[in-house]
């Protein structure tokens, strides 16, 4: 048994916790990143590393003193930088005198041998059957979490009393966190969705629809994107993220990415440029054709693939007639600034909708 | 004659002799953009997405300088130049970034450069370009042979210690007439690590190399290291980078730190906001630290950096090195 930790990434945390516990590790659960976490990461990370790198480093530094033997993380294998994060995080931690084992997963299709070696290291003599079962349950839980999250976005924009949805959402997550067996997970999912349906809403309200595109970590970790989805929901907007961990595991980890998004991006960026740069472009086309009112692009400052994608945005926005708001997030970005820009963006979309219907 | 424009930055420092020789051989007139100046930079800053790094902005500036003078722009999409590394994502999307930046650009020739080795796939790559301009097969074959020869000679000259501008000037002169820099007579020798498009562009690097030479410092850059030496160190790191230029810079630095052992310090030239360099810079800093605390200076360049600022930091660094050397000398004496 080892004392294991991992990076905090949105709602997925509770799923990793139960999966690792099931294969017999003690889990040091990372706390949700705070501004303090970030400043800790900034202190030791390279200046131009992107915000996920800094937040994750900060998270490790906060969890390691709680007694950690092994850190688990994952990333792609180029050309995005995230694939090098394991190596550099490890070096920085060793430089500071910490020496936990670092298990960094690459996509199994790119590095199959390496992947299996690390799986074996992780399962530590447990049976393959248990591991498989645990993964199965993990996926199921992940899917339940995503279902609940999607429903919460739809309800929050229509809620009558601010904060009701968020409260119900947290309650539902608690149900799921405690669920262990397949049956319990299914039950928790139903209860959770029921909890959300109990929130009183205004059924006649027609919310604006906004697509959220961009880099995975800042999309998934609300602490990194200033609770963008909640903020939008409070402004009466239904946000639709392009990346959920379930779809991500299916499309990008096991297969070679989202084929449809790639096809849509083809006329603008004909090949994979790393990260989600190409997807971002394809997703704009998708959202525009799907009748969305606007798009928010999220990316860490100095994120190379998203910079390439952003440089196509003005043209794309004009051709497809959909407004795009880009946030490049770094440690200097402030909540108030994000909110002000979002308010202006929502006003613009409302105005546009009025003009279009008139 | 059809005119084709090549921007004088980014892959220019690695591939220009190859492109130029071939394109001229198939009957095109090659127009090179003028050396970087203030106007290039201003235009580049104006046209490029503001979050891009300064080399990408400069590239757009060079494109702007060419756009009214040429019929075509030659912007190959560099994806892979060997079996392992890709280029930085900005290189992968470069033709797209340029294409959607303005509407009044001449047509862009953007063949995809994705090869495991030049020997295996260069001919096919050049053949397709040739056919696009309906060149005859003989001229394509001849162009290919000459272009490879020029490319080889260019890199041979770089390995012998010349800088790209000198190597390009001497491309057609016989070897014995070329004045190669001898083995370091200089008191101090520094490794200047960085990407060729940053360190060899005098405008954006604040005349870094010239100023160092004026101070009598010997300089070694990654371009001066043979691919054999680089290859030795491609097995040194537990995990290599994914990017062609970053790996070259890292391996060159490791070679100089570990094997050559004749450098007194490292200067890493990096562009503000360069993604790969955020990783590379930290790695070099740590490697230098673990090898007898080798002095390490990192200089970050952006659209506002001036020669004076860079020079001041260089002078301070050199002073420190000289003191160190003196102190070490008196210790052993």
Residues of B with CB below 8 A from A46's CB?
278-279, 281-282
Q: Is any Cβ of chain B less than 8 angstroms from the Cβ of A333? A: no
pLDDT at residue A243, rounded to an integer? 85
B72-129 per-position pLDDT tens digit:
999 999 998 887 788 988 899 999 999 999 889 999 999 999 888 888 889 999 999 9
Which sequence spans correspond to the domains of chain A? 3-125, 135-156+158-204, 207-358
- pLDDT at residue B261 greater than cutoff 70: no
Domains A3-125 and A207-358 share a fold: yes
Q: Within an 8 Å CB–CB cutoff, is residue A267 touching chain B?
A: no
Closest Cα in chain B, distance from residue A58 (Å): 17
Domain boundaries along the sequence of chain B: 3-169, 181-332
CATH class of domain segment(s) A207-358: alpha beta
pLDDT band for position B275 (cuts 50, 70, 90): confident
User: Is A33 in CB contact (< 8 Å) with chain B?
Assistant: no
Given an 8 Å threshold on Cβ–Cβ distance, is B49 in contact with A310? yes
Output the pLDDT for position B136.
Answer: 92
pLDDT value at position A10?
86
Q: Which of B97, B101, B242 shows the shortest C-beta gap to A78?
A: B242
Residue A255, pLDDT > 60, answer: no
pTM: 0.90
Class of A3-125 per CATH? alpha beta
Q: How confident is the model at residue A124 (pLDDT cuts 50, 70, 90)?
A: confident
Determine contact: B277 vs chain A, CB below 8 A. Answer: yes
Instruction: Please enumerate in sequence order all residues whose Cβ is within 8 A of that of A320, keeping only pairs 6 or more positions apart, or say none.
Output: A284, A285, A288, A289
Size of interface A-B (CB pairs under 8 A): 112
Q: Do A88 and B282 touch (CB under 8 A)?
A: yes
Please compute Rg for chain A using Cα positions: 20
Is pLDDT of B318 > 70?
Answer: yes
Is it the case that residue B260 has pLDDT exceeding 80? no
Complex prediction ipTM: 0.87
- Closest residue on chain A to B281 (Cα): A46
Lowest mean pLDDT among A24-28, A73-77, B45-49: A73-77
Question: Cβ contact (<8 Å) for A302 and B239?
Answer: no
Average the pLDDT over A76-100 and give the result.
Answer: 87
pLDDT at site A22: 86
Partner B contacted by A204 (CB < 8 A): no
Q: Which residue has the higher pLDDT, B317 or A82?
A: B317
Return mean pLDDT, chain A. Answer: 89
Q: What is the pLDDT of residues B195-227, one digit of tens each?
A: 999 999 999 999 999 999 999 898 999 999 998
Instruction: Assess A273–B contact: CB distance below 8 Å, yes or no.
Output: yes
Query: For an interface test with B, which of A41, A43, A44, A48 has the most B Cβ atoms less than 10 Å from its Cβ?
Result: A48
Kindly tell me if the per-residue pLDDT of B291 is higher than 90.
no
Interchain contact, A78 vs B86, CB within 8 Å: yes
Residue A256 above 70 pLDDT?
no
Confidence bin at A347 (pLDDT 50/70/90) = very high
Residue of B nearest to A274 (CA): B89
- pLDDT of the residue at A89: 93
Q: What is the pLDDT of residue B183?
A: 67
The pLDDT of residue A251: 64
Hey, are the CB atoms on B89 and A311 less than 8 Å from each other? no
CATH class of the domain comprising B181-332: alpha beta
Candidates A271, A277, A308, partner chain B, best to mutate (most B CBs within 10 A): A308
Give the residue-averaged pLDDT of A152-179: 92
Interchain pair A305, B89: CB under 8 A: yes
In this prediction, residue B315 has a pLDDT band, given cuts at 50, 70 and 90, of very high
């Amino acid at each position: 048994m080892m004392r294991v930790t991992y990076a905090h990434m949105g709602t997925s945390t509770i799923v990793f916790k139960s999966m690792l516990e099931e294969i017999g590790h003690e889990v040091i659960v990372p706390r949700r990143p705070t501004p303090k976490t970030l400043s800790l990461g900034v202190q030791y990370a390279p200046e131009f590393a992107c915000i996920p790198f800094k937040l994750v480093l900060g998270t490790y530094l906060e969890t390691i003193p709680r007694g950690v033997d092994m850190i688990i993380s994952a990333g792609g294998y180029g050309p995005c930088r995230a694939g090098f994060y394991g190596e550099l995080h490890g070096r920085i931690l060793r430089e500071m005198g910490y020496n936990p084992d670092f298990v960094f997963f690459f996509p199994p299709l790119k590095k199959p041998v390496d992947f299996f070696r690390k799986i074996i290291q992780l399962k530590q003599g447990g049976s393959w059957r248990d591991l498989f079962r645990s993964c199965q349950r993990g996926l199921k839980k992940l899917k339940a979490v995503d279902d609940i999250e999607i429903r919460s976005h739809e309800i929050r924009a229509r809620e009558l009393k601010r904060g009701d949805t968020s409260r119900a959402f947290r309650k539902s997550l608690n149900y799921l966190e405690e669920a262990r067996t397949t049956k319990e997970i299914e039950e928790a999912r139903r209860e959770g969705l029921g909890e959300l349906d109990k929130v009183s809403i205004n059924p006649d309200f027609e919310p604006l629809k906004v697509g959220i595109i961009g880099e995975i970590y800042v999309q998934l970790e609300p602490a990194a994107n200033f609770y963008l989805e909640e903020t939008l929901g409070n402004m009466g907007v239904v946000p639709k993220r392009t990346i959920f961990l379930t779809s991500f595991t299916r499309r990008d980890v096991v297969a070679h990415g989202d084929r449809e998004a790639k096809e849509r991006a083809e006329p603008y960026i004909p090949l994979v440029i790393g990260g989600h740069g190409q997807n971002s472009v394809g997703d704009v086309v998708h959202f525009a054709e799907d009748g969305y009112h606007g798009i928010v692009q999220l990316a860490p400052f100095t994120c190379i693939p998203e910079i390439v994608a952003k440089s196509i945005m003005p043209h794309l926005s004009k051709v497809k007639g959909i407004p795009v708001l880009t946030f490049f997030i770094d440690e200097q970005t402030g909540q108030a600034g994000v909110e002000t820009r979002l308010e202006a963006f929502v006003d613009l979309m409302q105005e546009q909708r009025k003009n279009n219907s008139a | 004659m059809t005119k084709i424009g090549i921007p004088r930055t980014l892959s220019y420092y690695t591939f220009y002799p190859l492109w130029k020789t071939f394109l001229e051989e198939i009957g095109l007139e090659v127009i090179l953009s003028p050396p970087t100046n203030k106007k290039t930079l201003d235009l580049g800053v104006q046209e490029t997405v503001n979050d891009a790094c300064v080399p990408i902005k400069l590239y757009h500036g060079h494109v702007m300088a060419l756009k009214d003078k040429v019929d075509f722009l030659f912007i190959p999409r560099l994806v892979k130049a060997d079996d392992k590394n890709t280029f930085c994502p900005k290189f992968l999307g470069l033709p797209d970034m340029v294409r959607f930046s303005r509407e009044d650009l001449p047509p862009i020739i953007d063949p995809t450069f994705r090869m495991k080795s030049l020997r295996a796939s260069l001919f096919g790559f050049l053949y397709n370009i040739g056919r696009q301009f309906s060149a005859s097969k003989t001229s394509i074959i001849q162009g290919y042979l000459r272009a490879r020869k020029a490319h080889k000679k260019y890199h041979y000259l770089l390995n012998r210690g010349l800088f790209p501008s000198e190597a390009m000037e001497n491309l057609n002169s016989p070897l014995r007439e070329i004045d190669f820099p001898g083995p370091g007579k200089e008191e101090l020798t520094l490794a200047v690590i960085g990407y060729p498009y940053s360190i060899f562009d005098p405008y954006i690097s604040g005349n870094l190399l010239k100023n160092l030479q004026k101070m009598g410092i010997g300089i070694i850059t990654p371009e001066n290291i043979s691919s054999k030496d680089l290859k030795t160190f491609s097995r040194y790191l537990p995990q290599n980078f994914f990017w062609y230029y970053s790996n070259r810079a890292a391996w060159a630095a490791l070679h100089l730190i570990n094997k050559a052992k004749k450098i007194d310090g490292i200067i890493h030239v990096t562009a503000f906001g360069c993604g790969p360099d955020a990783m590379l810079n930290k790695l070099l800093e740590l490697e230098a630290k673990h090898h007898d605390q080798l002095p390490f200076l990192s200089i970050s360049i952006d659209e506002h950096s001036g020669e004076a600022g860079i020079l001041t930091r260089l002078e301070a660094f050199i002073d420190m090195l000289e003191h160190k050397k003196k102190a070490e000398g008196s210790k052993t004496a």
